[in-house]
Chains A and B, each alone.
Chain A
Amino acid sequence: MSGAAQHEIEQAYAHPFGAQIDRAALSQRLDAAGGWEAKSRLLVQLARELPGLPEQEKNDTNRVSGCESTVWLITRWQDGRLQVAADSDSRVIKGLLTLLLTAYHNRSADEIQRFDIEAWLASLGLVRFLSASRGNGIRAIATRIIEASRQPAG
């Protein structure tokens, strides 16, 4: 891999979700957004804060296929913690990805497997996204991250 490409990947993993922005901070922002439209608006806003993936990482290997939108997901181990970065062509979905990253990025396998993402999303009033879409719904992406956490580090 070229130095420039490696740099881009480092940048993708250097997103603030699960790092500077934690679950409590996100919960607060979502709680403040009353109503469906306000939540959608906030998700679009959150998407702007996620740098996304470099073009070469938006490939078929990293693609979580779906009918309504496309999601790309990459993971790697770093010092016993799973690092997660993701992107989508849809801004609402990309906003939802920031929630998944906040829950899972930079965590140990144990923390990832124990976290109840559905309960958290339900508490944020986003339960409808759990039932949405075949293939690359939020559930499918969470499952993919949890599977990655079961692969041996390194």
Chain B
Amino acid sequence: MSLNPLVLRADFPLFDHYPDLVYLDNAATTQKPRQVLDAERHFYETANANVHRSSYRLSGLATDAFEGARNTVARFLNAGSADEIIFTRGATEAINLVANSWGSANLKPGDEILVSGYEHHANIVPWQLIAAQTGAIVRAIPVFPDGTLDRTSFLSQLQPQVKLVAITHASNAIGTHLPVLELAAAAHVAGARVLIDGAQAVAHENVDVQALGADFYVFSGHKVYGPTGIGVLYGKAELLADMPPWQGGGDMIDKVSFAGTTFAAPPGRFEAGTPPIAQAVGLAAALDWLSKLDRAALKQHEAHLCALLDAGLRKIPGVRVLGATTERAPLRSLIFDNAHPYDVAQFLDGRDIAVRVGKHCAEPLLDALGVNGTLRVSFAAYNTTADVERFLQALAETLEELA
């Protein structure tokens, strides 16, 4: 079955407002289908109450909707149980939760956290912060200048003092897929835990956290057609069970007294305060929307857009694609011989083409590649071959103009 992006596009009201927009910044955030907007609105109109209060029926409806969303996420990731799904504000908060909770309980001076050189700052800085508190050390898995991973260095650094390996499923800056299955297996043999940042993967790949062997897997709702303000931490039940709470508040306790407080079981232990209920419902609607598509056809569609883009870029002089030899998510990161990415983006914006420029919150990676900033083109389900053609033509003319 093939996939018609024009039919999909009709699900996205933003394009009704901007019919001429070529939106190519999907790695930053995707647009939202009507089904997601409707689900949130429907929740507020028909089931809104605070969750986990069982004294009246409306709260029961809200709780069912919220916990139903948790079930949807668990199915989406093939988690062993919905109790392994913790709702957070986003991938960033999910990583911070693991760093603070698991990290504070499990890291001691001299322990090491291996972080890949591809990581977004969100998967670097939380480790640096917890390392500073615990005396652990953060080490980088290097990336070669061509954007490939230094596997030899990874394996040689994988010593018994390594307690955790933090890797992205796919690089947000250049798209490169990490061999997460292989890295996770090696890490486990060495006795380390593995956290995978799935922010750039979930919208494009079928993710099975059990098959991947992830101890922790995180993603943000807004990058997978869902709302902002909601994200997911998947954690293996046996790990979550032993992790201390990170934030204190309501809804996360078993019993509170000034003599001492006992905490709820996961996931409640990690969801202090009123959670993002409607956003969870919206996220579940997004995952349902995505899951109803033919995922293989979607992947093929996005790969086709990339192939068209790659072929077109080869015909434009003075363009370099980063990590070009690596297998990548449907995004391309470009630099130009005679133009600054920011300038190119300004001219593209003049033609209603939205792209991202800069360091993409991945400065160590850009340093390793020897570049200051790139122009990133990233696709989603609703992008069309016409989008690619308009981008290519505008880029060629812009580079000529700026030469």
| Separation of A41 and B347 alpha carbons in the complex (Å) | 8
Interface residues of B in 334-389 (CB under 8 A from A): 340-343, 346-347, 349-351, 357-359, 361, 372-373
Contact B342 A92 (CB under 8 A): yes
A36 to B349, CA, bound (A): 8
Q: Is B402 an interface residue (CB 8 A)?
A: yes
Is B45's beta carbon under 8 Å from chain A?
Answer: no
Interface pair A37/B351, CB less than 8 Å apart: yes
A67 to B341, CA, bound (A): 11
Classify chain B's interface size.
10 to 19
Chain A 27-42 per-residue mask, 1 if CB under 8 angstroms from chain B, else 0? 0000000011100110
Kindly state the separation between the CA atoms of A70 and B359 in the bound complex, as whole angstroms: 11
Q: Closest A residue to B347 by CB, please name it.
A: A40
Q: Does A140 contact B (CB under 8 A)?
A: no
Of A35, A36, A67, which one neighbours B358 at CB under 8 angstroms?
Answer: A67
Q: Is the CB of A69 within 8 A of B402?
A: no
Q: Is the CB of B346 within 8 A of A68?
A: no
CA separation between A17 and B207, bound complex, in Å?
Answer: 56
Contact indicator B350/A36 (Cβ below 8 Å): yes
Q: Closest chain A residue to B360 by CB distance? A: A67
* Neighbouring B residues of A40 by C-beta, 8 Å: 343, 346-347, 350
Most chain B CB within 10 A, of A36, A44, A68, is at A68
Is A91 an interface position by the 8 A CB rule? yes
CB distance A44 to B343 under 8 Å? yes
Nearest Cβ distance between residue B92 and chain A, in whole angstroms? 16
Considering the complex, give the chain A residue whose CB is closest to the CB of B363: A67
- Knowing A41-B401, A89-B372, A91-B402, the reply to whether A69 touches B347 (Cβ < 8 A) is no
A-B contact list, 24 entries, CB within 8 Å: A35-B350, A36-B349, A36-B350, A37-B347, A37-B351, A40-B343, A40-B347, A41-B401, A44-B343, A67-B358, A67-B361, A68-B341, A68-B357, A68-B373, A69-B340, A69-B342, A69-B373, A89-B372, A90-B343, A91-B340, A91-B343, A92-B343, A92-B346, A93-B342
Task: List 17 extra interface pairs beyond A67-B358, A68-B357, A68-B373, CB under 8 A.
Answer: A35-B350, A36-B349, A36-B350, A37-B347, A40-B343, A67-B359, A68-B341, A68-B342, A69-B340, A69-B342, A90-B342, A91-B340, A91-B343, A92-B340, A92-B343, A92-B346, A93-B342
Nearest Cβ on chain A to B101's Cβ, whole angstroms: 29
**Closest Cβ of chain B: how far from A97's Cβ, in Å?**
13
Cα(A40)–Cα(B350), bound, Å = 8
In Å, the complex CA distance between A90 and B372 comes to 12
CA distance A70 to B402 in the complex (A): 18
Interface set, chain A 86-124, CB cutoff 8 A to B = 89-93
- Chain B contacts of A93 at CB under 8 A? 342
A37 adjacent to B350 (CB under 8 Å): yes
- CA separation between A69 and B339, bound complex, in Å? 12
Contact call A68/B358, Cβ cutoff below 8 A: yes
A67 and B342 CA atoms in complex are apart in Å by 10
Q: With the chains together, A44 CA to B361 CA distance in Å?
A: 27
Q: What's the nearest-Cβ distance from chain B to residue A59, in Å?
A: 16
**Min C-beta distance of B338 to chain A, whole Å:** 10
Q: Complex formed: what's the CA distance from A93 to B358 in Å? A: 14
Question: Distance (Å) between the CB of A92 and the closest chain B CB?
Answer: 5
